[in-house]
Amino acid sequence: MPHFERHVFVCTNQRDPGNPKGCCADKGSEAIRETFKRELSERGLKGKIRANAAGCLDQCSRGPAVVVYPEQIWYRVPTVEDAKEIVEQHLIGGKPVDRLIMRSVTERAAIEARAAASHQSGAREVHNTAEMDDAYRAMVKQLLESQAYRELQAANILGHALKFVPTLGFKLSIAEDLEEELEHFAEVARLYSDVVGGDVAQAVADRLSRVPYPESWAEIAMVQFLYDRAGEVHLREYVNCSYVPYRNIVTKILEEEEGHESFGEAVLLELCSDAKRRPELQQLFDKWLHVALLSFGRPGTDGNRYAVEVGLKTRDSGAVMQQFLDDIKPTMRTCGLHFPPTEKIGIAFSQEVNLAL
Ligand code: FES
């Protein structure tokens, strides 16, 4: 029996189209496995490294999932180009491809925070309102209102969306997400009441009355993909927030909401495989991209600079927004979506914004 030095397991699991878990096969994992096999064979490594098809590796929301043994390095490999990079850099060069390593959302946030820490001035931690001055308290008030708005809006949208959801499996999955959003809203509301002494639901009622609602299954998928993804990237900024009670809430929300956006992504990928639907999906993308980007706030403002200076967050909104845009690009490429012209998006971008696909 040949003794392989390494095994590369590629999940090629296929689930029914109506399954809310999605699957790696729908995200192109068969082509990823073929690429590993071909690249290894062409490099004369067939007898040393084996690329195997695997069943579900229990990382469905983060797939296409690949694991390399014996190192036990877990990867998310979205494209065949990424598979080639792993062969070249990791399997031949011995250096894992850091950007593709599968990490939980809080691990990613901690890495980003460390990378940004060199730009910070060693902000002190704040544990309660007695330790805040007026400017700090005003900024925390603003942060909590934004977070409460996002959680309540997400819950309202999911509740509204339920009637368009085609299967019981998806309805149950949406109902679970909705309950989580409401629990997160309740936590933010409690903290707001401590810091500000008021009702945050009232504070955000006017803003909430102006948001649109999805009117079809395709639109729900787009909202989940874009809006939840924006929320996650935005929240990652606060994992090392100097206001400790908010930091704790953010960490909990991130852990519990991980995977929400992959549900929308899975449905979107399925819908866009029908080329006739792409104009409709592009229209929905244009509409919800604007809403998703609104949650980052204006880049380059004094408020941004202050929040970074006192360690409430680590980067200007422009940098966070760019990260979100880069995050959605692989799915956009697969679905044939493009960014509308900036004037049509209707958002204030930083000058360095990169919309190239
Ligand atoms: S379907 Fe691939 S990890 Fe579950």
The structure tokens listed for 62 are: 């983060």
- Model confidence band, residue 23 (pLDDT cutoffs 50, 70, 90): confident
Rounded Cα distance between 57 and 277, Å, is 31
Q: Is the pLDDT of residue 114 over 80?
A: no
Best CATH choice for the domain 6-100 from the list 3.40.1710.10, 3.40.30.10, 3.40.50.1240, 3.10.20.340: 3.40.30.10
What distance in angstroms lies between residue 10's CA and the mean position of ligand 1's atoms? 9
- Residue 127 · residue 253 · CB < 8 Å: no
Average pLDDT over residues 310-314: 91
The predicted-structure confidence for 194-210, as pLDDT tens digits, reads as follows: 999 999 999 999 989 98
C-alpha to C-alpha distances, 74 to 39, 66, 229, 329, nearest whole angstrom: 19, 6, 22, 22
Q: How far apart are the first and last CA of the chain?
A: 46
Mean pLDDT of the chain: 88
The rounded distance, in Å, linking the Cα atoms of 59 and 68 is: 14
Mean pLDDT value of segment 218-228? 89
pTM confidence score: 0.71
Q: In a mutational test of the pocket of ligand 1, which residue from 9, 11, 61, 102 has the highest number of ligand atoms less than 8 Å from its CB?
A: 11
Calculate how far, in angstroms, residue 13's C-alpha sits from the geometric centre of ligand 1.
6
Q: What atom of ligand 1 comes closest to residue 23's alpha carbon?
A: 1
Per residue in 41-75, pLDDT (tens digit) is: 999 998 899 999 999 998 887 889 999 999 889 99
pLDDT, residue 109, reads 67
How far, CA to CA in Å, does 289 sit from each of 76, 167, 226, 286, 321? 24, 26, 7, 5, 11
Q: What is the CATH number of domain 105-345?
A: 1.20.1260.10
Q: What is the pLDDT of residues 288-299, one digit of tens each?
A: 999 899 888 888
Is the confidence at residue 164, as pLDDT, over 80? Answer: yes
Percent of the chain residues topping a pLDDT of 70: 93
**224-265 confidence digits (pLDDT tens):** 899 878 888 888 888 889 999 999 999 888 877 765 556 788
332-344 average pLDDT score: 90
Tell me, what's the pLDDT at 61?
77
The atom number, within ligand 1, closest to the CA of 22 reads 1
Sorted by sequence, the CB contacts under 8 Å of residue 109 that are 6+ apart come out as 235, 236, 237, 239, 240, 254
The pLDDT of residue 321 is 92
Domain limits of the chain? 6-100, 105-345
Q: Given the CA of residue 64, which atom of ligand 1 is nearest to it?
A: 2
